[in-house]
């Protein structure tokens, strides 16, 4: 996949600093354009990854088809409207058909999509769809709870609001009992 051109980004950041009324030649800012370029490359590295890649074959055979839940997965992303962070946590549940994913891989899949410019709703749907596809799951539930800095430090300045989004696929959508088991396990 295409690498980011950090040199180009650094020169754009330097221009941005000038437009904002700063002097990019002053001591404290001399290395800022390169640092921002590196940081942005890291924060958007999901564009250069796929779920298949990060799974790296960590899909295992399993006999029983019961619900697997992982909660408290840390999330850091950037909103696509302001390029400001939103952050919080994610819970994932799924019922696999004879296959389970390595536990740490669930968190890696979240990062493939979180480390891009996002809206929380799409992030939630993409993570659910990826897990359903990679685990051949009969059902998947994903819940994200995040705070958005674009709301907290600008605009409406609502400091304590948390946005909750969920995506339910397969049996998590159609079977009320499955869905309530999942929701009780993550609360």
- Would you tell me which residues interact with Zn ion (CB under 5 A)? 79, 81-82, 150
Q: How many CB atoms lie within 10 A of CB 150?
A: 16
7-46-142 Cα angle (round to 5):
155
Inter-residue contact 1 to 52 (CB < 8 Å): no
Least distance from C-beta 123 to Zn ion, angstroms?
Answer: 13
Complex with Zn ion: residue 79 or 95, whichever CB lies closer: 79
96/106 Cα distance (integer angstroms): 13
Complex with Zn ion: residue 64 or 156, whichever CB lies closer: 156
Q: Give the three-class secondary structure for 66.
A: coil
Least distance from C-beta 160 to Zn ion, angstroms?
Answer: 17
Least distance from C-beta 137 to Zn ion, angstroms?
Answer: 31
Complex with Zn ion: residue 82 or 173, whichever CB lies closer: 82
The residue number with the shortest CB distance to Zn ion is 150
Least distance from C-beta 80 to Zn ion, angstroms?
Answer: 7
CA atoms within 13 A on the CB side of 181: 16
Complex with Zn ion: residue 129 or 150, whichever CB lies closer: 150
């Amino acid at each position: 996949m295409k690498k980011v051109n950090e040199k180009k980004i650094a020169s754009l950041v330097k221009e941005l600093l000038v437009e904002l009324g700063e002097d990019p030649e002053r001591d404290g800012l001399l290395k800022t354009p390169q640092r921002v370029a590196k940081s942005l490359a890291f924060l958007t590295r999901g564009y250069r990854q796929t779920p298949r890649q990060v799974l790296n074959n960590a899909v295992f055979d399993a006999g029983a088809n019961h619900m697997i839940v992982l909660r408290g997965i840390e999330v850091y992303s950037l909103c696509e409207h302001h390029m400001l962070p939103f952050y919080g946590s994610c819970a994932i549940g799924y019922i696999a058909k004879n296959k389970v994913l390595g536990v740490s891989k669930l968190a890696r899949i979240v990062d493939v999509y979180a480390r891009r410019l996002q809206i929380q709703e799409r992030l939630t749907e993409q993570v659910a769809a990826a897990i359903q596809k990679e685990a051949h799951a009969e059902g998947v539930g994903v819940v994200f709870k995040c705070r958005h800095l674009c709301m907290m430090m600008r605009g409406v300045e609502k400091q304590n609001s948390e946005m909750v989004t969920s995506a339910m696929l397969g049996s998590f959508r159609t079977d009320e009992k499955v869905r309530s088991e999942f929701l009780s396990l993550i609360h």
